[in-house]
Amino acid sequence: MSELAPGAGKNEDLDSNGHPTAPAKLGYSPVAEIPHQLRVTDTDPKAARRAERQVAAMFILSMVFIMLSLVAYVMIDKYTVVYIPVLGVVGASNVALGFTFGIAVLLIGAGAIQWAKKLMPDVEVVQERHDLVSEKEDDNLALANYERGKDESGFARYKIIRRTLLGAMALFPIPMVVVLRDLWVTPPGENPTEILSTTMWAKGIRIVSDGTYLPVRPEDLPVGGLVSALPEGLLEVQKEEHNLNARGKAAIILVRMDPDQIRSQQGEGWDYNGILAYSKICTHVGCPIALYEQRTHHLLCPCHQSTFDLADSGAVIFGPAARNMPQLPISVDAEGYLVATQDFAVPVGPSFWERERA
């Protein structure tokens, strides 16, 4: 459908290199009243030769960079590091290979474009396009086809088939929604709501610090101190269940503050001499949080900036979280280690449909 404008391919006045010198009919624009501007390379043979040399130089330089790239591969040990301003201390081999190969490819592209822009014919071309509206006969044909299909299939005639088909189509997506329930793999006989509402914590379970898995004594934790902690025996449960669900529910942080500074708690005497245990899982969408500011007693969630005041029942003082951070009641056992006195009183983590308000 394309049609070259008058003048294209008719460059009869060529110089010794075959370049157009001053094409006779260039300057005619069929599109609009914009006069065609001749390029310097169209009018000045010296400029054309200069452009030719430029393009060739880019291709030659590209070859040089490829050779440099190979040299860099052979010469530079892959563990060598160098300091380069702006980049900092970097791996010499990676940077050298990336730089030389990248520049080589860039030069091929730049050379090709320079060639096209400066030396290849520079004429306006019009490509004709058919109308967007279809022909009347095509419209009629399509309509006739549709009517014939309707008649032959009997879609309008067999009422019961039509209705049962619609019913079948409406029902078939239902299992896809129902199986979503299994995203939480519920062991037989167990209730997902109950699983979401309970954790490993129970009366007498020792609190161990995350990472070292050593039990914590109250005197280990100074005022202003913070420990990320887990229930003792978590690693065994994790091994048995082959997932991190138990950890995800039971993770807590222990903080200690001056008992005078505790304004309220979720239960009477749930602290132990100023040591408070709170869930580590944000009640908004469940990010684990331990950004605890020991002077303000604020706990900040980095995901959406929910902020909880641990000196005031873990109340939400900022951000999208809707519920207090659940508190775990603690005490010490006969050997003087910190233990839980019961499970969390409310489900930890983000809200779910069956969760009662608390």
Structure tokens at 162: 């039509």
What letter would DSSP give residue 5?
Answer: P
Counting residues that bind another protein (by CB under 8 A) gives 49
Using an 8 Å Cβ cutoff, are 326 and 346 in contact?
yes
Q: How far is the CB of 15 from another protein (least distance, A)?
A: 18
Using an 8 Å Cβ cutoff, are 237 and 200 in contact?
yes
Considering only residues 217, 235, 273, 336, which one is a binding residue for another protein as defined by CB under 8 A?
217
Identity of the residue, 289 or 348, whose beta carbon is nearer to another protein in the bound complex = 289
Residues 158-197 that bind another protein (CB under 8 A): none
> Rounded CA gap, 37 and 27, in Å?
7
What letter would DSSP give residue 28?
Answer: -
Residue 89 is a binding residue for another protein (CB under 8 A): yes
Q: How many CB atoms lie within 10 A of CB 277?
A: 24
Q: How many CB atoms lie within 10 A of CB 75?
A: 12
Using an 8 Å Cβ cutoff, are 351 and 324 in contact?
no
Write each residue from 313 to 332 as x if it is in contact with another protein (CB under 8 A), else as -, in one continuous string: -----x--------------
Q: How far is the CB of 104 from another protein (least distance, A)?
A: 16
Residue 31 is a binding residue for another protein (CB under 8 A): no
Considering only residues 14, 57, 90, 345, which one is a binding residue for another protein as defined by CB under 8 A?
90
Residue 150 is a binding residue for another protein (CB under 8 A): no
Structure tokens at 317: 């003082």
Write each residue from 263 to 292 as x if it is in contact with another protein (CB under 8 A), else as -, in one continuous string: --------------------------xxxx
> Rounded to 5 degrees, what angle do the CA atoms 265, 268, 270 make?
70
Residue 88 is a binding residue for another protein (CB under 8 A): yes
Q: Which residues partner with 208 through β-bridges?
A: 215, 230
For the chain, how big is the Rg over CA atoms in Å?
38
Identity of the residue, 129 or 295, whose beta carbon is nearer to another protein in the bound complex = 295
Query: Which of left, alpha, beta for 25 (phi over 0: left; psi -120 to 50: alpha)?
Result: alpha
Considering only residues 26, 68, 208, 227, which one is a binding residue for another protein as defined by CB under 8 A?
227
Going by C-alpha positions, the residue among 35, 22, 29 that lies closest to residue 5 is 29
> Rounded CA gap, 61 and 79, in Å?
28
Q: How far is the CB of 6 from another protein (least distance, A)?
A: 19
Q: How far is the CB of 89 from another protein (least distance, A)?
A: 4
Q: Which residues partner with 252 through β-bridges?
A: 229, 279
Identity of the residue, 54 or 193, whose beta carbon is nearer to another protein in the bound complex = 54
In one letter, which amino acid is 288?
Answer: P
Considering only residues 2, 16, 127, 212, which one is a binding residue for another protein as defined by CB under 8 A?
212
Residue 54 is a binding residue for another protein (CB under 8 A): no
Residue 34 is a binding residue for another protein (CB under 8 A): no
Residue 336 is a binding residue for another protein (CB under 8 A): no
Identity of the residue, 315 or 346, whose beta carbon is nearer to another protein in the bound complex = 315
Question: Which residues would be at the binding site for another protein (CB under 8 A)?
Answer: 37, 39-41, 81, 86-91, 94-95, 98, 113, 117-118, 122, 209-212, 216-217, 219-228, 255, 289-296, 298, 300, 302, 305, 307, 318
